[in-house]
Structures are given as C-alpha cells and as structure tokens.
C-alpha cells in the first residue's frame, strides 16, 4: 500500500536523514581516528573560526560575485541566442555545428585558453565560465523556441498584437519552463566551473582557498568551506529559484 506522506512527516524524515548522515560521518571518523577525515564537530569549529576571522566571507563573496555575474551574462545572452536560433531555421542550420563544437570542448580547455589568450585577469575568468555555460542555455532555450504553440501565435497575429506583447505575453510564458531548467542546471554547473577557474588563475575565492588547503592537507578546512558553499547554494535555490518557478506555474491546474 502506498501511503502519502503529510508535509509534517516529510519534514521529520528530512531532518532524520540529515541526523543519520552526521552520525554516520562521526562514527566513521572517530573509528578511523585519522587527520584526513575529521569529525563533524572539528569541521564546525573550523567553520566558525573562519567565519569569525572574515576569511571565509571574503573568499565566498568573491566566488559568489563571479558566479552571479557569469550566470546573468550566460542566461541573458543564451536566451537571446536560443530564441533566435529556435525561430530562424536558416541561422539554426548554420550554427548547429558551432554549438556542437562548443558543447564538447572540455571546461578545462576553455579555462586554460582564456587565461593564455587574455591573461590571468578577472575578465578572462568570467569569460571562461560564460563560454562553458552558454551552449547549454542556447540549446535548452532553442528547444523551447522550436516548440512554441502555433495556434497561439496565429491568434496573436490575427489580432495584430504588438511585437512587445507577443514576446512578453505569448512567447515568454511558454519559454519559462525551459528558462528555469537552464537556470537550475546552470547554477549547478557554473559553481563547479568557477572553482576550477579560481584554482587555476585567481588569488582569491573558494577555488583558490581549496587549492591552498589541499597543499597543506587541511581536510577540516576543505570540508568547512564545502559546507558553507553548499548551504549558500541551497539558500539561493530555496529563496530565489523555487519561488520563481512556482510563480511561473501559478496558472496550471
């Protein structure tokens, strides 16, 4: 028999699973008793002191700044190009190969090339992240633009709606789910790439710090930074992306 869990019960289960996870971590760590797997409480102490001395805030801030900027650029540029390709078959056929090439260039290669060509600068770092994310956004939005409802477009045309109305009221709501899909997978992808970008060519940010801790074999700090980062990303997901998604679906039955 399938029983539907009440929201209360679901919250309880989520809390319990987190508790079990920490307990498991703690037991393994104290059983192994090795510096390369510190106990949760040790990580919490490091986290607290790093927050307190301001290091973590600074580096996390830099990473979030790069993440936000490259995310916004990639989403805006990617949406515009995706819609253009989806609506004009000629341009789409022409650039299809380019997209496939860019989709398949390894992230590391674009990062290295950006640093080699444009120097170890902030612009090169952001550019490397954008170039990595852009093809994904274009492909997702292109699919959306290709599957627009022809009936509604004809309606808009026969009632002679302005281009602005057609774009904002007829086309955009149909693309919203594709945009949200691109945004969600975008954040997950971008923050991983940002760390590599920082590791290879920046002197601040999460990636730089992790590289430093790696050289010192300081696993407690690595885990503390990871924990802080996961928390921030989850907060963004819950406070920004979920409400946005929900708002976009308010009309659905």
Partner 1 sequence: MTEINLTIEQKKFPKSNQPQSENIIADLNLNIHSGEFVCLIGPSGCGKTTLLNLVAGLDENYQGKITFGAPHNDCRIGYVFQNPRLLPWRTVRENIELVLPRHTPSHTIDDLLASMKLTATQDTYPQRLSLGMSRRVALVRAFAINPDILLMDEPFVSLDAPTARKIRKKLLTLWEQQFHTVLFVTHDLREAITLADRLIFLSSSPMTIVRDVKITVPRPQRFDDRQIESFRHELLSKYPDLTPLL
User: By the criterion CB under 8 A, which residues form the site for partner 1?
Assistant: 151-152, 154-155, 157-161, 165, 169-170, 173, 250-253
Distance of closest approach, residue 126 Cβ to partner 1, in angstroms: 34
- C-alpha distances (whole Å) from 67 to each of 73, 198, 215, 236 are 10, 11, 25, 12
CB 172 within 8 A of CB 247: no
**Dihedral angle computed from the Cα positions of residues 164, 169, 171 and 174, in that order, rounded to the nearest 10 degrees:** 160
Distance of closest approach, residue 158 Cβ to partner 1, in angstroms: 4
Q: In sequence order, what are the residues at sequence separation of 6 or more whose Cβ sits closer than 8 angstroms to the Cβ of residue 3?
A: none
Q: In sequence order, what are the residues at sequence separation of 6 or more whose Cβ sits closer than 8 angstroms to the Cβ of residue 166?
A: 153, 156
Distance of closest approach, residue 151 Cβ to partner 1, in angstroms: 5
Which is nearer to partner 1, 246 or 253 (by Cβ)? 253
Which is nearer to partner 1, 163 or 253 (by Cβ)? 253
Distance of closest approach, residue 165 Cβ to partner 1, in angstroms: 7
- Long-range CB pairs of 44-49, under 8 A, 24+ apart, other chains included: 44/224, 46/220, 46/221, 46/223, 46/224, 47/224, 47/227, 47/228
Distance of closest approach, residue 87 Cβ to partner 1, in angstroms: 17
Which is nearer to partner 1, 112 or 170 (by Cβ)? 170
Which is nearer to partner 1, 17 or 252 (by Cβ)? 252
Which is nearer to partner 1, 3 or 253 (by Cβ)? 253
């Amino acid at each position: 028999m399938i029983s539907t869990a009440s929201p209360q019960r679901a919250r309880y289960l989520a809390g319990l699973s987190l508790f079990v996870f920490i307990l498991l971590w703690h037991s393994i760590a104290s059983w192994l008793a090795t510096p390369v797997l510190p106990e949760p409480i040790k990580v919490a102490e490091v986290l607290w002191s790093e927050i307190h001395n301001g290091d973590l805030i600074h580096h996390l801030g830099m990473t979030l700044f790069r993440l936000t900027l490259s995310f916004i650029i990639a989403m805006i540029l990617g949406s515009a190009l995706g819609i253009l390709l989806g609506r004009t078959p000629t341009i789409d056929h022409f650039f299809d190969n380019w997209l496939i090439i860019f989709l398949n260039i390894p992230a590391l290669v674009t990062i290295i090339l950006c640093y080699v060509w444009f120097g170890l600068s902030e612009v090169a770092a952001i550019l490397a992240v954008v170039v990595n994310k852009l093809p994904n956004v274009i492909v997702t939005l292109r699919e959306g633009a290709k599957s627009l409802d022809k009936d509604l477009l004809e309606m808009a045309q026969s009632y002679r709606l302005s281009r602005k109305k057609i774009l904002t009221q007829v086309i955009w709501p149909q693309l919203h789910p594709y945009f949200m899909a691109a945004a969600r997978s975008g954040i997950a992808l971008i923050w991983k790439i940002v760390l590599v970008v920082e590791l290879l060519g920046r002197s601040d940010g999460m990636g730089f710090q992790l590289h430093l801790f790696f050289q010192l074999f300081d696993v407690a700090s690595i885990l503390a930074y990871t924990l802080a980062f996961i928390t921030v990303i989850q907060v963004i997901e819950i406070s920004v992306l979920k409400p946005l998604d929900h708002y976009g679906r308010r009309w659905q039955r």
